[in-house]
Amino acid sequence: MKHGPIALALVLALTLSAAAALPPVDPPTLKATSAELQGEVRPLVLMTYNILHSLNPLPPSNWSNRRPLVWHVIREAKPDVLALQEVLEGQLKHFEAEFGRDYAWVARGHDGRMGGEILPVAWRRDRFVLVDEKYFWFSPTPEMPDSKGWGGWLPRFATWVRLRETATGREFIVVNNHWEADNEMMDARRKSAQMLLERTAAVPAELPVFLVGDFNVVPTRQKRREPYRMLTEDGVPPAFADAWLVAAERNGPGTTTTRLHPAPNLQEGERKDWILFRGPVGVRRVTVNDYYRDKLYPSDHLPVILEFTWQPRVSP
């Protein structure tokens, strides 16, 4: 979401400190299943996608024109886990109508309810169960919905889910992000990175963590890369790895932003959408899908799609 306010709703007056909001994270079970031992477990697909809000009523880039294209991209990717950014309540209802039979999800708006931007995380009903969910705001009062941080224009927050794969018992955490967009607000993004480091520090090494979303930071731009460096170089070892850089196979452009219309018209060198990870997983393939139709991109962002596998573990 670039500029312009989204209607805000009820602010919930909570004042817990960031430290008080960090209970211990239970380690996952380590017992190997028979399916894993026999090599029967298929790869998992994790997808992050800023679908662009529906506030623009003017064709060709209005939501009614873009929606079939967004659905096409999601169906083509067949994600096991899907993190969306810049979703409004009406768009979430459309998602529910289209994908509700196959996916379950958690979702909350930046007001703590369903107002403003929503950051859903969805997962295949037939493959995972939800273990835990939580939300925090990138601000000095991270437990306070609608709170703004460090000069930012809009409330920015994260959706944290812990999922268990039913076939294997394997668990992992996905943190869905949408950071401050104003390029002058680097302090907000640095402190957002620091908050993620603090909140993931207690996660056991054997429990994979994925940081996904629209970070509004370009890793290759020296003046804008510090928050990225904090996560990938300065974190408590091991630092987060960038799936795009370490993948055995990489497909698509080295950018994740578009000019919507007329396509093809990418914003070169603007890789703002990432999947960072740490923990015992292997990255097979990462794809940035630059699909468009009738000279229209589905969104002003391109989705990032990660295919990963569990690293082998020894049965006790």
For residue 42, what pLDDT is reported?
81
Residue 2 has a pLDDT of 44
Contact 200, 158 (CB under 8 A): no
Is 264 inside any structural domain?
A: yes
Asked if residue 26 belongs to a domain, the reply is no
The CATH number of whichever domain residue 85 belongs to comes to 3.60.10.10
Domain count, the chain: 1
Q: Is 213 left (phi over 0), alpha (psi -120 to 50) or beta?
A: left
pLDDT of residue 211: 98
Residue 7 maps to a domain: no
302: β partners? none
Predicted pLDDT of residue 231:
97
pLDDT in tens, 193-204: 999 999 999 999
User: Which residues of the chain, if any, have pLDDT below 50?
Assistant: 1-22, 29-40, 316
Give a yes or no: residue 38 inside a domain: no
CA 227 to centroid of chain Cα atoms:
16
Residue 3 lies in a domain: no
Q: What is the pLDDT of residues 260-301, one digit of tens each?
A: 999 999 999 999 999 999 999 999 999 999 999 999 999 999
Check residue 314 and give its pLDDT: 53
Range of the domain at 199: 43-310
Within-domain flag for 315: no
Residue 310, pLDDT score: 95
pLDDT of residue 38: 42
Residue 196, domain member (yes or no): yes
How many residues are listed for the chain in this entry? Answer: 316
